[in-house]
Structure 1
Amino acid sequence: MKKKIAVPVKDGILDGHFGHCSHFALLDIADNSIVAEELVAAPPHEPGLLPPFLADLGVTDVIAGGMGNRAIQIFNQHNVNVFVGAPQISAVELVNGFLNKSLSFTANYCDH
């Protein structure tokens, strides 16, 4: 199964506030392994912009620390799965943990 997973990052580590990150790590997945990785600059923060922006890039899943409920709803409308409460580690570590089911998620720590 092919996937493209987006992780909001700052200096290579998960950025805890999804909507204000500077970049997204986009990781292409095939046969449950990372096959490609790219770093994409995030557009300026504007409510509701990031879900269609990432969906247009082919993203199927997002791993984040915190995210507002409205953003999650918009992602779902674009058929993008959202996983929140991820620890602040590198994008590659997050995705590998997600793929091998060893990644632990906590509560969504975004309150808006």
Structure 2
Amino acid sequence: MKIAIPSRQGFLDEHFGHCEAFTILTLDETRKIVKEDLLTPPPGCGCKSNIVSTLAEMGVKVLLAGNMGQGAVNKLEEAGISVIRGASGSVRTVADQWLAGNLQSSNTICTAHHDHDGHGGCGNH
């Protein structure tokens, strides 16, 4: 099983659509982390890229996030990836909290209109 965490310099990145990387953690059958990889997303807003299909093709089944719009959540869930929102901290802390069953989704939805590098906002995707 694989889980993905939008990340920046070893910490959960609060903005799924513009994260520096996705930390992909591979778990063995006992749910122990056995491998860690970084996936650099394409430039631009992640909600408008092919990152969801890329994560699904890699075998990601869970995405642990801080906050994201409902459109992104819908795309991930349609691709078979469960989304847990409301996480924060280092990538390993977030993963360990989820593995221990101590991370429950807050269902926080980002509805702000963001202006990213002058390219307009993502709205609620």
Normalising by the residue count of structure 2, what TM-score does the alignment of the two structures yield?
A: 0.79
Q: Give the % identical residues.
A: 33
Counterparts of 1:62 and 1:21, CA distance in 2: 13
Greater RCO (CA < 8 Å, at least 6 residues apart): 1
Q: Computing the radius of gyration over CA atoms, which structure comes out larger, 1 or 2?
A: 2
Counterparts of 1:99 and 1:85, CA distance in 2: 15
Which one is further off, 14-23 or 31-40? 31-40
1:85 CA displacement: 1.0
1:104 CA displacement: 5.1
> Where does residue 25 of structure 1 map in the other structure?
23
- The count of corresponding residues between Structure 1 and Structure 2 is 109
What's the RMSD between the two structures over aligned residues? 1.5
Unaligned runs of at least 5 residues, structure 2: 112-123
2:95 corresponds to 1:95: yes
Is the alpha carbon distance of 1:70 and 1:10 closer, same or farther for their aligned partners in structure 2, counting shifts above 3 Å? same
Q: 4+ residue runs of structure 1 moved beyond 6 angstroms?
A: none
Normalising by the residue count of structure 1, what TM-score does the alignment of the two structures yield?
A: 0.87
After superposition, the C-alpha distances for 1:46-82 in whole angstroms (9 at most, x for unaligned) are 4152211211221111000011111111111111111
> Where does residue 12 of structure 1 map in the other structure?
10
Q: Which one has the bigger strand percentage? A: 1
Unaligned runs of at least 5 residues, structure 1: none
Is the 1:17–1:110 Cα contact (8 Å) retained in structure 2?
no
